[in-house]
Amino acid sequence: MKIGITTPIRGCSVKDLRHLAKTAESAGFYGIFSPEVPIYSAIGNAQVMAEATKSIKIGTWVTNIYMREPIMCASEAMTVQEISEGRMILGLGNSHKPVNDVFDIDMGDQYESMKQYVIKIKSYADGSSDHYEKIPIKRDLPVFDIHITGLTKRTAALAGELADGIMPYLANLDHLKTLYSSAKSKAGDKKFEFTSGMPVFLSDDVDQAVTAARIGVGRQALRPSYKRVLTNSGFGDIIKKLESGISPEEAISDKLLNELCLFGKPSNCRKQLEAQFNNGSTMPILTPFPVGNQSPLQMMDELSKLLD
């Protein structure tokens, strides 16, 4: 059973990242991934974690395609691939308009931007790019895996066509089936990873975990991409409540939490986790959020209990 985890959304120190990666590897997690929240680099964090480990998959969840030219993204990912001896997974995403607006980034056609970015990344990684005639340096390495976010049928199909995996987030089981079906229709028989991203709020204090979950999901729900996936997952009424100014504590329903999150005592979350595998996920990716004053290391301790 493959389970991936991310480091906390907000950046950790390098010391923390090393500790988290080593603990995740010792606990038996399949992979550990770094989110990208400026000013923290997901690829830089992946390199730190690669240097601290020996066997666990490491990577990004996800790297913002608008923040790097494809040649530099490919070069940095190849460096991590070499350091990790083939354990790198490059997760790519468009991020969110409010984030990119801060840096005056014109996202253009997001679908086409992702398509062309992945094509270029692959050409740099496998040495087929015409630029290699001008820069005659090729690393003799297996190409790292590329996953892309897929929250709609169209982007899921693009993942199946061009990438090695899909990284949806905040999608319920019914919408995941739709996304997986679209990806499979283009992936054919090739090896392909069907991940499922879930926010996680773990604590023996169940009431506190529920409160943290409502607030945590509520803060993300109004980002354009997540509004879309939550609506497609049947929670459009909750989006409307949040848009009207109703607080997350009141707007976020028990149904949403039960379908999209892991929360409460780790021992009580295993059934929801098993449902991900039964629904076709080959690797759930769990993203921890603090309950109360939990530190990143305490969040990792709670995550590790899922494997006890």
| pLDDT tens digits along 180-191 | 999 999 999 999
Residues pairing with 88 in the sheet: 58
SS3 35: coil
pLDDT score for 159: 98
pLDDT score for 279: 95
Cβ pair 118, 145 in contact under 8 A = no
Of 10, 31, 94, nearest to 285 (Cα)? 31
pLDDT score for 97: 84
**Mean pLDDT of residues grouped by 10 in the chain (308 residues)?**
91 92 98 91 97 98 96 94 96 89 90 97 88 60 92 97 98 97 97 98 97 96 94 97 97 97 96 95 97 95 94
The Cα 154–Cα 183 span in angstroms is 9
Whole-structure pTM value:
0.95
Task: Quote the distance between the C-alpha of residue 170 and its chain's center.
Answer: 10
Residue 135: CB atoms within 10 Å: 11
Tell me how far apart the 2 most distant CA atoms of the chain are, in Å. 61
Cβ pair 72, 33 in contact under 8 A = no
Domains assigned to the chain: 4-203+261-307 (3.20.20.30)
pLDDT score for 131: 76
pLDDT score for 130: 80
Cβ pair 204, 294 in contact under 8 A = no
pLDDT score for 92: 98
pLDDT score for 138: 57
The Cα 103–Cα 67 span in angstroms is 9
